[in-house]
Amino acid sequence: MPRIAIIGSCITRDLWPIQGAAGDHALLYVSRTSLPSLVSEPVRGFRPAATPPPPLKGNQHKALVADLAKTALARLVAFRPTHLVLDLIDERFDLISVGRSIVTHSWELEASGYLEQKAFRGGRPIGRLSAGCQRLWTEAAGEFAALVRATPLREAQLVLHVSRWADEVRGSDGRRRPLTDVAILDGRPADIGEHNALLEAYEATLTGLMPPMARLDAGGLRVADAGHRWGLSPFHFTPEYYAEIWRQLEALGVPQLSAAPAAPSVPAA
């Protein structure tokens, strides 16, 4: 049976119905992380709640705890995926330096209340677009590439899902217009061009460090969908985008685990 692992975001995760027939035994999803956080040490003294603190849901809390406790890589290696898909859309959040750990400053972390724990006192922000973050990311990419080569992950088909933020949105009338007023966290504005340039640089770095990776790229179809079931976002695309990426996955020999949707079928993380 194929075992699909994803390190990335909802643009890849939404290709599979990860609830129901597929089951966790066939698909492992690692999200709301960044490579510097993924390869970092656990946050010393962090204590996760026994149940998700409101307003977080189960999967959101699970992803957050994995980012703070640094359990994702061990799970990934133990999963022994036949296919490992990487997409970098979640590489948009700022980072926080906490002791000897790096964590992802996601909405889930803000909403959880964990930043009030003693373990996070003295944490220092690291801006995503800063030179310091760029250095951290490049070093972490090298560590991750070395891990892939040294573990059963080297046996997986590696796939890079190339993507960018859409700069246009298609409305309910079918017309396309420029996408403006984009924010990342707490309404803070974000520049689409700057983040797309960063993604391009990240992908070039990763390609130079990793073993050979196949590529998924539906660049001409990167249009945001005003009617997307998870809301308007520069990376919530029209159904045509998902259909094309799925076609490319099938061309790489990635089998369907069940009927593939033309549009997202599970809540976006």
pLDDT digits (tens, 9 = 90+) for 77-94: 999 999 999 999 999 999
The CATH number of the domain holding residue 61 is 3.40.50
Q: Does the predicted model carry a pTM greater than 0.85? A: yes
Q: How far apart are CA 60 and CA 143, in angstroms?
A: 26
Q: How far apart are CA 68 and CA 156, in angstroms?
A: 26
The whole-number pLDDT of residue 17 equals: 58
Give per-residue pLDDT as tens, 165-223.
999 999 999 999 999 999 988 778 999 999 999 999 999 999 999 999 999 999 999 99
The answer to whether residue 256 sits within a structural domain is no
Give per-residue pLDDT as tens, 34-50.
999 999 999 999 999 99
The whole-number pLDDT of residue 188 equals: 83
Q: How far apart are CA 192 and CA 64, in angstroms?
A: 25
The answer to whether residue 258 sits within a structural domain is no
The answer to whether residue 43 sits within a structural domain is yes
Give per-residue pLDDT as tens, 92-113.
999 999 999 999 999 999 999 9
The whole-number pLDDT of residue 254 equals: 80
Each as own residue / partner, the long-range contacts of residues 16-23 (CB below 8 Å, 24 or more positions apart, any chain) are 16/257, 16/258, 16/260, 17/257, 17/258, 17/259, 17/261, 17/265, 17/266, 18/266, 19/266, 20/258, 21/257, 21/258, 22/257, 22/258
Phi, psi of 96 (to 5 degrees): -130, 130
Q: How far apart are CA 207 and CA 141, in angstroms?
A: 10
Q: How far apart are CA 19 and CA 200, in angstroms?
A: 32
* Structural domain that includes position 11: 4-251
The answer to whether residue 148 sits within a structural domain is yes
Task: Count structural domains, the chain.
Answer: 1
Q: How far apart are CA 246 and CA 59, in angstroms?
A: 24
Q: How far apart are CA 229 and CA 218, in angstroms?
A: 20
The answer to whether residue 185 sits within a structural domain is yes
Residues 6+ apart with CB under 8 A from 178: 167, 168, 169
The answer to whether residue 265 sits within a structural domain is no
Give the pair of three-digit tokens for residue 90.
């979640």
